[in-house]
Amino acid sequence: MNAELVTELEAPAQRTVSARLVSALGPTTALAGIVWALVQPYRVTLLHPRGETFWWLFVQPPLLVIAVGLFFHFVVVPGLLEDLEER
Amino acid sequence: MTPPSEHVHWLFATGFLLLGLCLLAEAIVGTEVWRRRAWRAYLWPGLAFSLGVLMWPVMVFYTNSTIHMIAHGAWAQVLMLGGAMELGIVRGKLRSDWWRLGMTAAFLVSGTALLVHEQNPWLFQRSAFLHHLLGWTLIVGAVFPLLRCIRPRSQAVATGFALTLVLTAVYLYSDRDVAPVFGHISPLAGTPRR
């Protein structure tokens, strides 16, 4: 087989792997946050607010991890996939 | 009205996690694709610079000793410096890859500051353990930004750089003001909060 043809075949495969990896980053991060919330529900003070002050209600680590995962997936990834496809 | 210091660690962890994810994505798709959109190219260097700026209020409001003030001030400066140099590279104003040494300096100074300002031993309690761990992680992890100067296109180096920041985020999320570590807590540390 001509080496150029092999290269042409390998390039889309590489792009597919990259696209899948990038697409998995956000959901994996969000899933890690969900698992954390299930393992340590007391870290999510919204589930059992008992006179908590502002910062205890505003900063809840598992929810922050989920938020980062969702932000990355819905804001950063779509454009990145488009650009990867156009390359 | 200032948040407890553990909340500050968690907020910074969120910034570092986003920073790590952006760098991981750049390592996967390659710098050429990552920089196709201007806002994306500036995203992580801008985030690093912003984290440096946000370290200044930490220095002002969480100064319980001179060593804390110096450590937080040094972090603020080197994070801003590292972020600014990466911004300069993205903008094209700085052309040499050796400008990436700014981020290497940020890692080394931050790691040293973490080790110096934590005056309790490793197993005093969790935050002491994490400060020691973070310090050594950043000092060892400084090899990645250093290697980026030499091999800027290496995917392995870029991935190592990104994962160091993700690991930093995990450590920061694990921080508590008073909590045991591996079952150890000094009676001098206080009463742990769940």
Complex-level ipTM: 0.92
**How many other C-beta atoms are found inside a 10 Å radius of the C-beta of residue A85?**
11
The residue assigned the tokens 């990038």 is A22
B56 interfacial to chain A (CB closer than 8 Å): no
Please report the residues numbered 10 through 49 in chain A whose beta carbons come closer than 8 angstroms to any beta carbon of chain B. 18, 21-22, 25-26, 29, 42
CB contact under 8 A, B14 and A64: yes
pLDDT of residue A9: 58
- Structure tokens belonging to residue B148: 């980026």
Judged by DSSP in three states, B92 sits in coil
Residue A1 has pLDDT above 60, yes or no: no
CB contact under 8 A, B17 and A29: yes
Q: Of all residues in chain A, what percent carry a pLDDT higher than 90? A: 60
Q: Could you report how far apart the first and last alpha carbons of chain B are, in Å?
A: 22
- Work out the mean pLDDT of chain A and round it to a whole number: 88
Q: Which amino acid is at A40?
A: Q
Residue A4 has pLDDT above 70, yes or no: no
A84 interfacial to chain B (CB closer than 8 Å): yes
pLDDT category at A3 given cuts 50, 70, 90 is: low
Q: Which of B28, B43, B194 sits opposite A42 (nearest CB)?
A: B194
pLDDT category at B192 given cuts 50, 70, 90 is: confident
Distances (CA, A) of A85 to A20, A22, B41, B124, B154: 12, 13, 18, 52, 22
Q: Domain span at residue A61? A: 3-86
B10 interfacial to chain A (CB closer than 8 Å): yes
**What residue of B is the nearest CA neighbor of A42?**
B194
Number of domains in chain A: 1
CB contact under 8 A, B32 and A68: no
pLDDT of residue A5: 59
pLDDT tens-digit profile of B63-80? 778 998 999 999 999 999
pLDDT tens-digit profile of A44-65? 988 877 788 888 888 999 999 9
Contact B126, B176 (CB under 8 A): yes
Average pLDDT in the B88-112 region?
96
- Structure tokens belonging to residue B166: 């993700």
Task: Give dist(CA B36, CA A42) in Å, integer.
Answer: 42
B35 interfacial to chain A (CB closer than 8 Å): no
Contact B125, B186 (CB under 8 A): yes
Q: Which of A29, A54, A87 sits opposite B21 (nearest CB)?
A: A29
B13-37: b or e for each residue (b if 16 or more CB lie within 10 Å)? bbbbbbbbbbbbbbbbbbeebbebe
Contact B73, B59 (CB under 8 A): yes
